């Protein structure tokens, strides 16, 4: 069999790769779709309400999800307002430049008008009639042509500047009105958010009164922990089949990973959470709305609300490693999104029933929680 020419062989390889890449991507999407479908069904089962405590949890979920939607609107409006502010700043600079240019050109126009008036409308004709040398007449005519052209150009530039300045001022007015409208919308949404916070606070107060004993509190924590474990088990079954390409595997980043938030450890891994419960991760006290960042490259495999965890993000890093970020006020990534180390994936909140803002953070290996201290960089 004859050998293929090298260029032809290279072309065949490129075509083969280009054909398999979309199929591979479709395969990954299909796996994610199956995972999302199973998680959705599992969540519906977990949200079944039997007791008054279940009903309170359902009401809390509804309020906190609505607040998350409201906060997304706030973030969107904040972004629009910042962009409008930048555009206005550019327009003000442009307006100032054009106004200065108009003043300069107005001075030039005034000088030319004064010169033309002094010269008189018939002066060029008198000059030409007094000349006898044809060459001199030609040069003089050319000179007057230059003068007329120069004056016309000065007038055209002046008129163009006035038109441009008028357009900028109209644009400024439109942007100013748009900015005022966005600020009015933001104020209304912030008032809505304030009302939702009061509603949530009243609900949490009522829920705490329902749980009067430590036994009741532990039963609540156990139920929430069980639901999280059910979700992790379902995820673990599927994420093993997902491909996470990475030239720096998670397993080789021990002690080198960045912290997910700026904050201090309120509760550490393994510390007591009650008579028979322990913390499986870290509760990091952090400023409300501060960014929650991915600790390593990976793919979001869960981005939703879960009882006891609030708004929760789980990232698959490949090699059987997951990281978990709970109690967020808003989620910035959806299931299937790729994330990079240090990329914002959520904002710190207190959803899931917390009284103060904090991030609950876990690292899992093969579904089992491991101490984050072994993996994150030591704090200076």
Instruction: Kindly report the CATH number assigned to the domain that includes residue 376.
Output: 2.70.70.10
What confidence tens digit (pLDDT) does each residue in 306-317 have? 998 999 999 999
> How far apart (Å, rounded) are the C-alpha atoms in residues 309 and 258?
22
Domain that holds residue 118: 80-204
Per the CB < 8 A criterion, the answer to whether 339 and 331 are in contact is no
In a domain, 43, yes or no: no
- In terms of domains, do 226 and 200 share one? no
Q: Is the pLDDT of residue 5 over 60?
A: no
- In terms of domains, do 273 and 191 share one? no
In a domain, 16, yes or no: no
Q: Is the pTM of this model over 0.85?
A: no
What confidence tens digit (pLDDT) does each residue in 314-366 have? 999 988 899 999 999 999 999 989 999 999 999 999 999 888 999 999 999 99
Q: What is the CA radius of gyration of the chain?
A: 35
In a domain, 313, yes or no: yes
Of the three residues 204, 237, 254, the one that is the final residue of a domain is 204
- In terms of domains, do 157 and 251 share one? no
What confidence tens digit (pLDDT) does each residue in 217-240 have? 777 888 888 889 988 988 888 776
In a domain, 270, yes or no: yes
DSSP 174-238: HHHHHHHHHHHHHHHHHHHHHHHHHHHHHHHHHHHHH--SHHHHHHHHHHHHHHHHHHHHHHHHH
Which candidate, 303, 361, 312, places its Cα nearest to that of 333?
A: 303
Instruction: Say which range, 39-53, 185-199, 230-244, 250-264, has the weakest mean pLDDT.
Output: 39-53
Which candidate, 304, 284, 309, 303, places its Cα nearest to that of 220?
A: 309
Per the CB < 8 A criterion, the answer to whether 39 and 31 are in contact is no
Per the CB < 8 A criterion, the answer to whether 84 and 178 are in contact is yes
- In terms of domains, do 195 and 284 share one? no
Per the CB < 8 A criterion, the answer to whether 186 and 77 are in contact is yes
- In terms of domains, do 142 and 222 share one? no
In a domain, 141, yes or no: yes
In a domain, 247, yes or no: yes
Per the CB < 8 A criterion, the answer to whether 377 and 257 are in contact is yes
Identify the helix (H) or strand (E) that includes residue 322: strand 321-331
Per the CB < 8 A criterion, the answer to whether 246 and 299 are in contact is no
Work out the burial of residue 370: count CB atoms within 10 Å of its CB; fewer than 13 is exposed, 13-18 middle, 19 or more buried: middle
Residue 97: C-alpha distances to residues 84, 86, 253 (Å)? 20, 17, 54
- In terms of domains, do 236 and 363 share one? yes
What pLDDT band is residue 379 in, cutting at 50, 70 and 90? confident
Number of domains observed in the structure of the chain: 2
In a domain, 167, yes or no: yes
- In terms of domains, do 102 and 193 share one? yes
Q: What percent of the chain has pLDDT over 70?
A: 78
Of the three residues 204, 229, 245, the one that is the final residue of a domain is 204
In a domain, 61, yes or no: no
């Amino acid at each position: 069999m004859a050998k293929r020419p090298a260029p032809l062989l290279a072309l065949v390889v490129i075509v083969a790769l280009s054909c398999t890449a979309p199929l591979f991507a479709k395969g990954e999407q299909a796996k994610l779709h199956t995972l999302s479908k199973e998680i959705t069904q599992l969540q519906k089962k977990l949200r079944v309400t039997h007791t008054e405590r279940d009903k309170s949890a359902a009401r809390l979920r509804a309020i906190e999800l609505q607040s998350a939607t409201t906060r997304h609107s706030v973030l969107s409006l904040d972004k629009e307002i910042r962009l409008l502010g930048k555009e206005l700043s550019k327009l003000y600079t442009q307006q100032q430049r054009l106004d200065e240019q108009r003043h300069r050109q107005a001075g030039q126009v005034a000088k030319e008008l004064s010169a033309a008036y002094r010269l008189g409308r018939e002066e060029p004709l008198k000059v030409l009639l007094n000349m006898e040398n044809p060459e001199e007449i030609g040069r003089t005519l050319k000179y007057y042509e230059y003068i007329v052209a120069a004056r016309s150009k000065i007038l055209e530039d002046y008129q163009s500047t006035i038109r441009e300045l008028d357009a900028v001022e109209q644009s400024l007015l439109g942007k100013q009105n748009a900015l005022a409208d966005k600020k009015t919308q933001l104020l209304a949404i912030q008032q809505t958010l304030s009302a939702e916070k009061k509603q949530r606070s009243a609900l949490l107060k009522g829920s705490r009164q329902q749980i009067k004993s430590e036994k009741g509190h532990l039963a609540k924590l156990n139920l929430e922990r069980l639901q999280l474990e059910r979700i992790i088990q379902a995820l673990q079954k599927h994420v093993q089949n997902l491909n996470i390409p990475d030239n720096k595997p998670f397993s080789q980043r021990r002690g080198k990973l960045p912290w997910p938030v700026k904050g201090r450890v309120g509760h550490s891994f393994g510390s007591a959470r009650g008579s028979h419960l322990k913390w499986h991760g870290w509760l990091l006290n952090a400023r409300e709305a501060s960014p929650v960042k991915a600790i390593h490259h990976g793919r979001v495999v869960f981005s939703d609300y879960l009882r006891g965890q609030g708004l929760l993000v789980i990232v698959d890093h490949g090699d059987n490693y997951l990281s978990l970020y709970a109690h967020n006020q808003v989620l910035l990534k959806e299931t299937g999104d790729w994330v990079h180390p240090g990329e914002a994936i959520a904002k710190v909140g207190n959803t899931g029933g917390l009284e103060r803002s904090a991030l609950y953070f876990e690292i899992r290996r093969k579904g089992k929680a491991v101490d984050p201290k072994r993996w994150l960089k030591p704090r200076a």
